[in-house]
Amino acid sequence: MFRRTFWFTTGVAAGVWATTKVNRKLRQLTPESLAATAANKALETGQRLKDRAVGFALDVRDNMAQREDELQEALGIQDDVLPAPRRLTAIEYTPSTDRTNPKYIESPMHSYNRNEDH
Protein backbone atom coordinates (compact mmCIF):
# COMPACT_ATOMS: atom_id res chain seq x y z
CA MET A 1 0.00 0.00 0.00
CA PHE A 2 2.77 2.40 0.92
CA ARG A 3 4.56 1.56 -2.34
CA ARG A 4 1.49 2.38 -4.44
CA THR A 5 1.01 5.70 -2.67
CA PHE A 6 4.67 6.62 -3.21
CA TRP A 7 4.57 5.88 -6.94
CA PHE A 8 1.20 7.60 -7.34
CA THR A 9 2.48 10.84 -5.73
CA THR A 10 5.70 10.57 -7.72
CA GLY A 11 3.70 10.29 -10.96
CA VAL A 12 1.46 13.20 -10.02
CA ALA A 13 4.49 15.35 -9.17
CA ALA A 14 6.18 14.42 -12.47
CA GLY A 15 2.97 15.23 -14.37
CA VAL A 16 2.61 18.62 -12.69
CA TRP A 17 6.28 19.41 -13.32
CA ALA A 18 6.04 18.38 -17.01
CA THR A 19 2.79 20.32 -17.51
CA THR A 20 4.30 23.44 -15.96
CA LYS A 21 7.40 23.11 -18.12
CA VAL A 22 5.37 22.63 -21.33
CA ASN A 23 3.05 25.57 -20.55
CA ARG A 24 6.01 27.84 -19.84
CA LYS A 25 7.64 26.85 -23.15
CA LEU A 26 4.36 27.39 -25.03
CA ARG A 27 4.08 30.89 -23.55
CA GLN A 28 7.64 31.62 -24.72
CA LEU A 29 6.76 30.51 -28.25
CA THR A 30 3.73 32.75 -28.75
CA PRO A 31 4.13 35.39 -31.49
CA GLU A 32 3.96 38.25 -28.99
CA SER A 33 6.65 36.74 -26.80
CA LEU A 34 8.88 35.97 -29.78
CA ALA A 35 8.45 39.53 -31.08
CA ALA A 36 9.31 41.01 -27.68
CA THR A 37 12.38 38.79 -27.37
CA ALA A 38 13.56 39.71 -30.87
CA ALA A 39 13.03 43.41 -30.18
CA ASN A 40 15.00 43.21 -26.94
CA LYS A 41 17.85 41.38 -28.65
CA ALA A 42 17.87 43.93 -31.48
CA LEU A 43 18.03 46.82 -29.01
CA GLU A 44 20.89 45.21 -27.10
CA THR A 45 22.80 44.52 -30.31
CA GLY A 46 22.21 48.06 -31.58
CA GLN A 47 23.45 49.53 -28.31
CA ARG A 48 26.59 47.36 -28.43
CA LEU A 49 27.27 48.35 -32.06
CA LYS A 50 26.77 52.02 -31.23
CA ASP A 51 29.15 51.80 -28.28
CA ARG A 52 31.77 50.07 -30.43
CA ALA A 53 31.38 52.62 -33.23
CA VAL A 54 31.70 55.55 -30.84
CA GLY A 55 34.74 53.97 -29.23
CA PHE A 56 36.31 53.36 -32.62
CA ALA A 57 35.65 56.94 -33.74
CA LEU A 58 37.21 58.32 -30.56
CA ASP A 59 40.25 56.08 -30.99
CA VAL A 60 40.65 57.21 -34.60
CA ARG A 61 40.36 60.86 -33.59
CA ASP A 62 42.94 60.48 -30.81
CA ASN A 63 45.38 58.59 -33.02
CA MET A 64 44.88 61.09 -35.83
CA ALA A 65 45.70 64.01 -33.53
CA GLN A 66 48.72 62.17 -32.15
CA ARG A 67 50.02 61.38 -35.65
CA GLU A 68 49.41 64.96 -36.76
CA ASP A 69 51.46 66.22 -33.83
CA GLU A 70 54.25 63.76 -34.68
CA LEU A 71 54.30 64.90 -38.32
CA GLN A 72 54.26 68.59 -37.38
CA GLU A 73 57.12 68.02 -34.97
CA ALA A 74 59.10 66.03 -37.54
CA LEU A 75 58.58 68.70 -40.23
CA GLY A 76 59.06 71.63 -37.88
CA ILE A 77 55.63 73.09 -38.60
CA GLN A 78 53.98 75.28 -35.99
CA ASP A 79 50.21 75.68 -35.70
CA ASP A 80 50.19 79.47 -36.05
CA VAL A 81 52.19 79.37 -39.32
CA LEU A 82 49.56 77.48 -41.33
CA PRO A 83 47.04 79.58 -43.28
CA ALA A 84 43.35 79.36 -42.51
CA PRO A 85 41.42 76.89 -44.67
CA ARG A 86 39.82 78.37 -47.77
CA ARG A 87 36.10 78.30 -48.18
CA LEU A 88 33.83 79.50 -50.93
CA THR A 89 31.52 82.22 -49.77
CA ALA A 90 27.91 82.41 -50.79
CA ILE A 91 27.50 86.03 -49.67
CA GLU A 92 30.02 88.73 -50.37
CA TYR A 93 31.03 90.35 -47.10
CA THR A 94 32.88 93.59 -46.70
CA PRO A 95 32.82 95.27 -43.29
CA SER A 96 32.64 98.81 -44.67
CA THR A 97 29.53 98.33 -46.85
CA ASP A 98 25.89 98.38 -45.89
CA ARG A 99 25.05 95.13 -44.05
CA THR A 100 21.33 95.38 -44.59
CA ASN A 101 21.65 94.65 -48.31
CA PRO A 102 24.12 91.78 -48.91
CA LYS A 103 25.14 90.95 -52.47
CA TYR A 104 24.78 87.32 -53.48
CA ILE A 105 27.50 85.87 -55.66
CA GLU A 106 26.08 84.38 -58.84
CA SER A 107 27.64 81.37 -60.50
CA PRO A 108 28.10 82.20 -64.21
CA MET A 109 29.02 78.61 -65.12
CA HIS A 110 25.74 76.68 -64.77
CA SER A 111 22.14 77.45 -65.38
CA TYR A 112 19.55 75.65 -63.25
CA ASN A 113 16.85 76.00 -65.87
CA ARG A 114 16.01 72.42 -66.90
CA ASN A 115 13.95 73.55 -69.91
CA GLU A 116 17.12 74.55 -71.77
CA ASP A 117 18.13 70.93 -72.20
CA HIS A 118 15.14 70.07 -74.41
CA angle 70, 76, 77 (to 5 degrees): 85
What mean pLDDT do residues 11-30 have?
A: 94
Contact 107, 89 (CB under 8 A): no
Of the candidates 110, 112, 104, the residue with the CA atom closest to the CA atom of residue 88: 104
pLDDT of res. 1: 84
Contact 107, 90 (CB under 8 A): no
Q: How far is CA 38 from CA 21, 32, 41, in A?
A: 22, 10, 5
Predicted structure pTM score: 0.42
pLDDT range class, residue 108, cuts 50, 70, 90: low
24-32: long-range contacts at Cβ-Cβ below 8 A with a sequence spacing of 24 or more? none
pLDDT of res. 87: 60
